[in-house]
Amino acid sequence: MRKKFLGFICIFLFIFSTDVQSKTGEKLYEKIDLFGEVLEKIKKEYVDDIDQADVMDSAINGVLQSLDPYSAYMSPELFDSMQTESRGEFGGLGIEIGMESGVVKVISPIADTPAEKAGIKAGDYIVRINDIQVQGKTLMEAVKLMRGPVGSSIELTIRRKGERKPLKFNVKREIIEVKSVEANILGKNKNIGYVKLKSFNENSDKQFIKEIKKYEKENKLLGYIIDLRNNPGGLLTQAISITDFFLDAGEIVSTKGRKISETRKFFAKSGDGVKGKPVIVLINNGSASASEIFAGALKDHKRAIILGENSYGKGSVQSIIPLRNGGGIRLTISKYYLPSGKSISEVGVSPDILVREEDEFKIGSSNDNQLNYALKLFQS
């Protein structure tokens, strides 16, 4: 117990890195003494027996989750299981999640995955996983609960804004393989290029640019609709590459972190891949991270009209850092800033034209009022 407690003290000393002689340092050591006292009271007086190691894990995770919704601690067991699952031995649901006020929140259901097909939406709060209450669980514990053998089913209990009663969804786990790009020609005269970008993974830019170049060879299109709705983001390099394709010059995004290596600016190279044709970008509450970089940069440069609803507001970069005990931490190491200098974090990108989802709304269907509005703009 003493070793674990001393380890926790070291974490606090590292995080706050303060002078022992200063008033701040004195307050810090008072808090450390208080923490020790609380642990002792729990040990002696709490109604049930507790595992002190679990209490320490929760304390460490509490420190990390107090920083932002995306930082978290993984015990050695959890860290090992997460690595095993990432090798494809387990199935998932196809949702990107975060924490908000201690509750698991859906950032975005990924297109054509079990979660989206079941009807889960961006902004939903997951309150139960099967019969397990989620509140009080860490983000990584919730992720682990949702993963399992391919073909097995899971019941999610959801709280949704505007719904008085909780909603229940039965979702079957699958291996999540996302094809990043879908493209089509739309419009009455078949002269509008529609490209749905589902994620920013390793090959997204190649797939995306290949589709656009194919349409550009035919040279019959008025412009393009780029659909980033429910795109949870992905790799920064992919966001830069795809954004660069539409810009002739100027800043795309900057990152700022504590380390010099995490503080950088990225600029577009000369050459607009669609030669200035009009572009409309569709976003919603499930458009996050790399999607917000793309939409925000094109908006700041007045290169595209942004249509739909406000994006999620995930403007930070996380890194997985192994620990000596075999566990790890997911830690925010830098933040994104748009060309205007504005941060995306917790604010997101606001649309130029606000179009909310209507009743019976479904992306890509005849009831997709956001896409229909974008098509009308080209035809007017």
**Which of 105, 144, 198, 314 is the catalytic position?**
314
Question: Has 71 been annotated as catalytic?
Answer: no
The whole-angstrom separation of Cα 226 and Cα 305 is 10
The whole-angstrom separation of Cα 362 and Cα 372 is 12
The whole-angstrom separation of Cα 142 and Cα 126 is 9
The residues near 205 (Cβ < 8 Å, ≥ 6 apart) are 238, 241, 242, 245
**Which of 204, 287, 289, 291 is the catalytic position?**
289
For residue 157, the 8-state DSSP code is E
Cite the DSSP H helix spans in the chain.
2-16, 23-45, 52-65, 76-84, 114-118, 139-146, 204-218, 236-244, 290-300, 369-379
**Which of 300, 316, 334, 368 is the catalytic position?**
300
Question: Has 314 been annotated as catalytic?
Answer: yes
Q: Are 266 and 317 within 8 A, CB to CB? A: no
Q: Are 192 and 224 within 8 A, CB to CB? A: yes
For residue 362, the 8-state DSSP code is -
What is the crossing angle of helices 236-244 and 290-300, to 10°?
30
Question: Has 300 been annotated as catalytic?
Answer: yes
Q: Which residue numbers are catalytic?
A: 289, 300, 314
